[in-house]
């Protein structure tokens, strides 16, 4: 009887366990891309490297691709870094006080263009020590619910609504003034946070007015993300935020989209940059804002994508005769997008799990197996066989027979056309 009860209990444990799929996600960094599959695996790809599993951590629920390092958030709230890890570089800085002394001496005696860098050796050693080929769990941080990265900077949103920041020379520290935060976004040197009550708060560099208000101190004009914690409210009544490299954006419930910072839209009688929020568009069904280097993408609740700003390398539209697009352009027939991520190219995750890329491809940032300088229209990212479209709901195997992907019937014909263009380009 006891054994029967034990068997029944074991079966019940197996049968009664609740399982849930992780929501797939994509992140476009400066040089490489990351994606999370529905089973919590992380894939990375760039240049000539196809989507490949990043081992040593799972299940993962969110990723952030930076310039030289990457961050992943595990389901249990743990944080991982790899690449040129800011945390690992910080440990070297702490353990080698000679580097700090060298940097202070260098700052006290500015060099001419011909003087050798007195800290070159120490900085090279720190850079080498910070490179992590395998993900490393960051110790001592609070359970986390969102992550963001910039060059040499990691910012996390803890589950208690607080925000923390660290860099190569700054210990992990709480950013005062950021409480009850629901989402975060980073530009190259500034941060934007959305509070539960709809207030949009900013901090960091204000070199292009990206904070939405004049800098409190002159030294804050070019301050780093982990150096200027003078958090202030830029605007209120927002439901979503986004950042470009040097700009900030916010969406209000009525569909009004506001922007400030570097003005890539070049509307009549506006300066190159402005330090106060301005209404730059209206989209009643907008659900997500994503800034690129010099353009803005908006996704609607029903999966449509709109874009405007500077149209370099087909960042916005297939018609590259228009260098500046002042008003939102509907990127039809792409119409079932679940999430966007953008830098100088854009990657869209469709609701059925496929990834569509377009824009700058000088180093294979958009399509890893194409040598075209730019990809003119949304095209599926494929696996190493150059045939199977990568799907985040399956991780390794996708529906190779699927024809309608990225809003195009017979997507493989478009993909083959890019490869043919590669061959013609390389013959020249």
Per-residue pLDDT of the chain (428 residues; tens, 9 = 90+): 444 333 333 334 333 333 458 999 999 999 999 999 999 999 999 988 999 999 999 899 999 999 999 999 999 999 999 999 999 989 887 887 767 677 777 777 766 666 777 778 777 777 787 789 999 999 999 999 999 999 999 999 999 999 999 998 889 999 999 999 999 999 999 999 999 999 999 999 998 889 998 777 776 677 889 988 999 999 999 999 999 999 999 999 999 999 999 876 544 335 566 788 999 889 989 999 999 988 899 999 999 999 988 888 888 866 666 777 878 889 988 989 999 999 999 999 999 999 999 999 988 989 998 888 888 889 999 999 988 899 999 754 444 446 678 887 777 777 777 667 665 555 54
What pLDDT does 297 receive? 93
What pLDDT does 417 receive? 74
Q: Does residue 359 lie within any of the structural domains? A: no
**Cα distance between residue 400 and residue 318, in whole Å:** 26
Q: Does residue 75 lie within any of the structural domains? A: yes
What are 355's strand-pairing partners?
A: 349
What pLDDT does 396 receive? 46
Beta strands in 252-344 (DSSP E): 256-262, 273-282, 286-291, 295-300, 305-310, 324-330, 337-342
Strand, helix or coil at 5? helix
Q: Does residue 161 lie within any of the structural domains? A: yes
Residues in CB range of 39: below 8 A, 6 or more apart:
21, 22, 59, 395
The tally of domains found in the chain comes to: 1
Q: Does residue 141 lie within any of the structural domains? A: yes
What pLDDT does 324 receive? 79
Strand, helix or coil at 346? strand
**Cα distance between residue 427 and residue 104, in whole Å:** 53
Q: Does residue 354 lie within any of the structural domains? A: no
Residue 321 class from Cβ within 10 Å (0-12 exposed, 13-18 middle, 19+ buried)? exposed
**Cα distance between residue 147 and residue 244, in whole Å:** 16
Q: Are 28 and 342 in contact (CB under 8 A)?
A: yes
Q: Does residue 247 lie within any of the structural domains? A: no
Q: Does residue 29 lie within any of the structural domains? A: yes
User: What pTM was estimated for this model as a whole?
Assistant: 0.87
Containing structural domain, residue 49: 22-95+123-174
What pLDDT does 17 receive? 38
**Cα distance between residue 175 and residue 203, in whole Å:** 9
Query: For the domain that residue 133 is a member of, what is the CATH number?
Result: 2.130.10.10
Q: Does residue 390 lie within any of the structural domains? A: no
Radius of gyration of the chain measured on its C-alpha atoms: 23
Beta strands in 163-263 (DSSP E): 163-167, 170-174, 181-186, 190-195, 200-204, 232-235, 240-243, 247-251, 256-262
Q: Are 276 and 213 in contact (CB under 8 A)?
A: yes
């Amino acid at each position: 009887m006891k054994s029967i009860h034990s068997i029944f209990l074991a079966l019940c444990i197996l049968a009664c366990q609740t399982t849930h799929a992780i929501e797939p996600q994509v992140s476009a960094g400066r040089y490489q891309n990351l994606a999370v599959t529905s089973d919590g695996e992380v894939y990375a790809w760039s240049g000539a490297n196809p989507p490949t599993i990043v081992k040593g951590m799972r299940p993962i629920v969110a990723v952030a691709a930076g310039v030289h390092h990457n961050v992943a958030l595990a389901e249990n709230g743990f944080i991982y870094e790899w690449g040129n890890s800011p945390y690992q570089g910080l440990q070297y800085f702490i353990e080698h006080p000679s580097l700090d002394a060298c940097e202070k001496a260098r700052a006290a005696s500015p060099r001419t263009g011909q003087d050798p860098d007195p800290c070159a050796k120490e900085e090279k050693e720190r850079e080498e020590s910070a490179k992590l080929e395998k993900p490393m769990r960051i110790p001592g941080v609070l359970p986390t619910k969102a992550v963001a990265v910039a060059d040499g900077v990691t910012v996390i949103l803890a589950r208690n609504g607080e925000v923390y920041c660290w860099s190569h020379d700054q210990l992990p520290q709480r950013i005062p003034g950021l409480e009850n935060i629901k989402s975060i976004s980073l530009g190259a040197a500034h941060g934007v946070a959305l509070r539960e009550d709809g207030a949009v708060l900013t901090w960091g560099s204000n070199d292009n007015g990206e904070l939405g208000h004049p800098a409190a101190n002159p030294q804050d004009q070019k301050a780093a993300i982990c150096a200027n914690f003078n958090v202030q409210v830029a605007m209120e009544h927002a439901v979503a935020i986004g950042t470009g490299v040097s700009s900030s954006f916010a969406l209000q419930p009525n569909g009004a989209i506001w922007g400030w910072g570097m003005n890539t839209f070049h509307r009549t009688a506006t300066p190159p940059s402005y330090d106060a929020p301005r209404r730059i568009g209206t989209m009643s069904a907008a659900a997500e804002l994503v800034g690129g280097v010099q353009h803005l993408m908006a996704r609607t609740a029903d999966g449509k994508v709109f874009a405007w700003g500077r149209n370099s390398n087909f960042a916005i539209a297939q018609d590259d005769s228009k260098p500046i697009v002042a008003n939102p352009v509907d990127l039809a027939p792409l119409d079932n997008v679940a999430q966007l991520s953008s830098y100088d190219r854009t990657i869209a995750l469709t609701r059925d799990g496929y990834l569509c890329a377009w824009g700058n491809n000088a180093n294979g940032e958009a399509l890893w197996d194409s040598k075209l300088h730019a990809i003119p229209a949304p095209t599926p990212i494929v696996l190493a066989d150059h045939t199977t479209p990568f799907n985040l709901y399956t991780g390794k195997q996708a529906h190779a027979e699927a024809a309608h992907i990225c809003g195009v019937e017979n997507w493989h014909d478009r993909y083959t056309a890019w490869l043919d263009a590669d061959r013609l380009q390389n013959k020249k």
